[in-house]
Structure 1
Amino acid sequence: MTTYTFPEGFLWGAAASGIQTEGTTNKAHPSIWDTWHENNPERFFKEIGPAKVSQTYERFQEDVALMKKIGMNSFRTSIQWSRLIKDFETGEACPDAVTFYLAYIDEMIANGITPMINLYHFDMPAELQDQYGGFESKHVIKLFEKFARTAFKHFGHKVKHWITFNEPIVPVEGGYLYDFHYPCKKDGKLAVQVAFNTMVAHAKAVLAYHDMKLDGEIGVVLNLTPSYTRNGSDADQEAAWYADLLFNRSFLDPMVKNTIPEELCQILRDNDIMPAFSTAEIDEIKSAEVDFLGVNYYVPRRVKAREAEYTLDYFTPEKYFENYINPQGRFNPFRDNNEILPTAVYDIAKNIQDNYGNIKWYLAEIGIAMDLESEGPVQHDGMIDDSFRTELMTEHFIQLHRAIEDGANCFGIHQWTFIDNWSWLNSFKRRYGFYRLDLETGNRIPKRHSTWFKELATTNQFTV
């Protein structure tokens, strides 16, 4: 038996987002998800949209009590731009939203749960997407800064851990390359412009936070996916380098190192997809230093050198490599056969340690998806048996512990997610929660993994 003990003060908790949990009650404006579902419900699993979800708006006190019950000492969620802001042009806040978020934050603090608040989790206000094109527009960058300042003004005296964006590359991929987020465009040049404008919006929020001299920290959450090759050939290694540059370093370097890789710029020039930018924007990116990094990890990326001709009529990163499925890989039978590779957590940690100044960071999301059938019915003790989830989390946490022992500067783990929540196009197909959400009653039903997690969070260690 081996005991794995984590550093004193380690954060144990879960992550979620406002749009996936709050519902639409008293919401000031619709987001792109509200209007997209209204117009194209067939794009969503069982046509379930974000209107009902887990009703955190009405049930946050109950949920915070359940967080405390399983030992959580921290929780990340997001403030919805479309809920908080009454007037997008001025940044004026909606009084009801301020009241709700203050009560939610106070409830967490009163129960010993540190709130970590994210500003943007894929949920562009529909009005700003329709009128300006969302982050296609320089004007929306300015409106985002006003939103950020309003959030800091109303909640900055209570919230000490702020995050600008969650996985900023995902709306670029989903909305402008691969057609799984609104606005469902396929345009490589526009994708690059949205990515760059997002970096500027992030920088403006970071600089605004420091300008307001608030007593806390601000960072960003990136999904980092190590690229592993089919074999050790030079061609495959080059393919992995391109994949890492385009999917990881494209945001990691500007947001953590405050530099834009010249190799990335050269690719953009070669493909005639350079974004419109100003010297002032570059200076903002260079000067917006984050205090910490959040890392989301679920699956590795497997790549190989291109063998087939690239045939798309617009740019995607796959111009420089092909995706690859490892025939010897281990896969999750309960979620689309995604590969399971716990050692990737160690590789991510060492990359941050060796190449990014060993910046303070935390594992902001990690989770194992199951469905209702694989989790099974409620057992005789009132719990759901998701021991498969516990087994895999144990393996991943061992790898993170190994990295910490080797010097990685990691200060916490947040699992996705507290309660089964609505998830973009998948709605409730994939279940990740410590608690099951009964869609008929709204009841929160505990899963067995939560008892393992409570022991871990309470003692700061586990034994296997």
Structure 2
Amino acid sequence: MNNIPKGFPSNFLWGGAVAANQIEGAYNVDGKGLSVADINEYVDGIPLEKKSNTELTTDYIKEAITSEDRIFPKRWGIDFYHTYKEDLKLLRELGLKTFRTSINWARIFPNGDEAQPNEAGLKFYDDLIDEILANGMEPMITLSHYEMPLHLTTAYKGWYSREVIDFFVRFSKVVIDRYHKKVKYWIIINQINLIAYESFNHLGIAEDVVDDLDSAKYQGVHNEMVACGLVTKYAKNLNKDLQIGMMLCGGPAYPATCRPEDVFATVRRNQMEYFFADVLLRGYYPGYAFRYFHDNNITVEFGEGDEEALKNTADFMSFSYYYTRIFDEESMKNKTGAYRNSDLPANPWGWTIDPTGLRTLLNLFYDRYQCPIYITENGIGYHDTLEEDESIHDSYRIDYFRAHIEQMKEAIKDGVDLRGYYAWGPIDIISCSSSEMSKRYGFIYVDQDDFGNGSEKRLRKDSFYWMQKVIASNGENLD
């Protein structure tokens, strides 16, 4: 009997994804407090590979808060806070069936530890979600996407402090209570495994307030996972039809050689990337994680009730996919991390292009978890050229998406229960890692430079019209 699917399901969700901190701007409007993203600095002239805020100190935080001449582009984003109606109309024209964004925690609880939410912040999301629905798109909402109130990093120690569990659960309950009748799909923590490259943006732990940063990171993410369990339980009790998801940053590593030592080192490396999904989808810590903590002198303390909270598992898995890396025994011994595969092409930022890796990962994840999967970020950053006639010819982006969509279709034929695909940054936004505007992902060009200068005019790229045809044909027309 032949049960191989012929293509994408008829109800497949073609979508686009953004983060509030990279798109909204209006960082000090309507009572919003500072978030960790509001001190992500853009520094012109430093090498591309160095443009990343990974670890920040308390001195940096204090200086950033008071600075009057440094550049923090996420404070202005692309002014989506004021342009969302026009932007959502363009995304409807593109054909999106669903739109993923986050709710900025610091807009709802400006300091994070207040007893009552900021009603003006909630009013903005009332209007935004209504507008998403009015444009025929299913909203998918992320509760935590690098928008922790900055106060929680200075008065506390970010997610390292157990008090933050209660603060986040309070925030989540307010939001879910408000929108559970309008929003079906939820992701609690964005890319929860991304603690090496985004430990401050993600966990809010300044590197100089803890004695052992590695242990602090794993304690912080443990506290996050406990919070996920508590929020999942609350949401399902409120409305059993809500779909609560978890999300990984999904860049697997391949063994650099076929030496058994390199193969096994890569298995161990990948295990600790999947660890977070193992907990959130299976409900308990796997044995290999305890071995890793022991071998690396990492301490994670469980609080009373933590094990019970973790049993409230997610309904679906989601992940971002941008690139793959390679790994070997020496990388494990020296703790240097996975590195670029020079056999693969890459964009100017060194992010390798590996469409087959997406099919590989979809198969690995579905084999491992046997639950619905959504690709909640995929895309590529390039420098786009605005021509004199205001056209943008981005055939390189079309080639990238074509190749990845082809591999998604193959994975569905493999039996993977893939239900949705969210292109990252369907409209140009501020880069997460480097805070630059010139690293563009969108199908829609925003006339704005790295310093916030420009007309802010929205222009359709060639890829806009191509993706429009892809979605209209449910993934069949890739020409």
Please give the TM-score of this superposition, normalised by the length of structure 1: 0.89
CA contact (8 A) 1:171 1:181 kept: no
Q: Which residue of 2 aligns with 1:348?
A: 361
Deviation at 1:86, TM superposition (A): 5.4
Name which of 354, 362, 378 aligns with 1:366.
Answer: 378
Deviation at 1:447, TM superposition (A): 1.0
SS across alignment from 1:69: helix
Distance 1:218 1:269 in 2: 32
Name which of 458, 461, 464 aligns with 1:444.
Answer: 458
Task: For structure 2, list consecutive stretches of 5 or more residues without a partner in the other structure.
Answer: 1-5, 42-60, 449-453
Q: Which residue of 1 aligns with 2:392?
A: 384
Specify the code of the residue in structure 2 equivalent to 1:251.
F
Specify the code of the residue in structure 2 equivalent to 1:452.
W
Distance 1:87 1:155, change over 3 A: farther
1:221-273 Cα shifts (integer Å, max 9, x gaps): 21112220111111111110121012x22211001122211111112123321
Q: Which residue of 2 aligns with 1:453?
A: 467
Name which of 209, 229, 248 aligns with 2:255.
Answer: 229
Q: Which residue of 2 aligns with 1:187?
A: 213
1:318-333 to 2 correspondence within 5 Å? 318=335, 323-327=338-342, 329-332=343-346
Q: Which residue of 2 aligns with 1:283?
A: 308
Specify the code of the residue in structure 2 equivalent to 1:101.
Y
Q: Which residue of 1 aligns with 2:52?
A: none
Deviation at 1:304, TM superposition (A): 1.2
1:261-280 to 2 correspondence within 5 Å? 261-280=286-305
Distance 1:245 1:431 in 2: 32
CA contact (8 A) 1:11 1:74 kept: yes
SS across alignment from 1:251: helix
CA RMSD in angstroms comes to 2.5
1:127-142 to 2 correspondence within 5 Å? 127-142=151-166
Distance 1:421 1:322, change over 3 A: closer
CA contact (8 A) 2:180 2:239 kept: no
SS across alignment from 1:170: coil
Distance 1:324 1:16, change over 3 A: closer
Check if 1:397 corresponds to 2:435.
no
CA contact (8 A) 1:227 1:303 kept: yes
Q: Which residue of 2 aligns with 1:315?
A: none
Distance 1:174 1:10, change over 3 A: same
Distance 2:295 2:439 in 1: 40
Distance 1:27 1:250, change over 3 A: farther
Check if 1:213 corresponds to 2:217.
no
Q: Which residue of 1 aligns with 2:122?
A: 98
Deviation at 1:414, TM superposition (A): 0.6
CA contact (8 A) 1:157 1:214 kept: no
CA contact (8 A) 2:21 2:74 kept: yes
Distance 2:137 2:94 in 1: 11
Distance 2:115 2:285 in 1: 30
- Which range moves more in the overlay, 87-96 or 61-70? 87-96
Q: Which residue of 2 aligns with 1:122?
A: 146
Q: Which residue of 1 aligns with 2:37?
A: 33
CA contact (8 A) 1:302 1:325 kept: yes
Deviation at 1:201, TM superposition (A): 1.6
Q: Which residue of 2 aligns with 1:314?
A: none
Distance 1:131 1:6, change over 3 A: same
Distance 1:228 1:392 in 2: 21
Deviation at 1:335, TM superposition (A): 2.6
Deviation at 1:338, TM superposition (A): 2.1
CA contact (8 A) 1:330 1:341 kept: yes
Deviation at 1:279, TM superposition (A): 4.6
Distance 1:180 1:100 in 2: 25
Percent identity of equivalent pairs: 26
Deviation at 1:195, TM superposition (A): 1.6
1:274-313 to 2 correspondence within 5 Å? 274-285=299-310, 287-306=311-330, 310=334
CA contact (8 A) 1:64 1:107 kept: yes
1:27-72 Cα shifts (integer Å, max 9, x gaps): 421112224658349x9xx934311111111111001101111111
Deviation at 1:274, TM superposition (A): 2.0
SS across alignment from 1:363: strand
Distance 1:53 1:369 in 2: 17
Please give the TM-score of this superposition, normalised by the length of structure 2: 0.86
Deviation at 1:446, TM superposition (A): 1.3
SS across alignment from 2:198: helix
- Which range moves more in the overlay, 186-195 or 125-134? 186-195
1:416-450 Cα shifts (integer Å, max 9, x gaps): 11211112341214111111111211111111111
Distance 1:180 1:140, change over 3 A: closer
Task: For structure 1, list consecutive stretches of 5 or more residues without a partner in the other structure.
Answer: 311-317
CA contact (8 A) 1:90 1:146 kept: no
Name which of 12, 15, 19 aligns with 1:13.
Answer: 15
Distance 1:325 1:50 in 2: 28
Distance 2:173 2:261 in 1: 47
1:8-31 Cα shifts (integer Å, max 9, x gaps): 111111100111111113242111
Distance 2:238 2:80 in 1: 30
The count of aligned residue pairs is 440
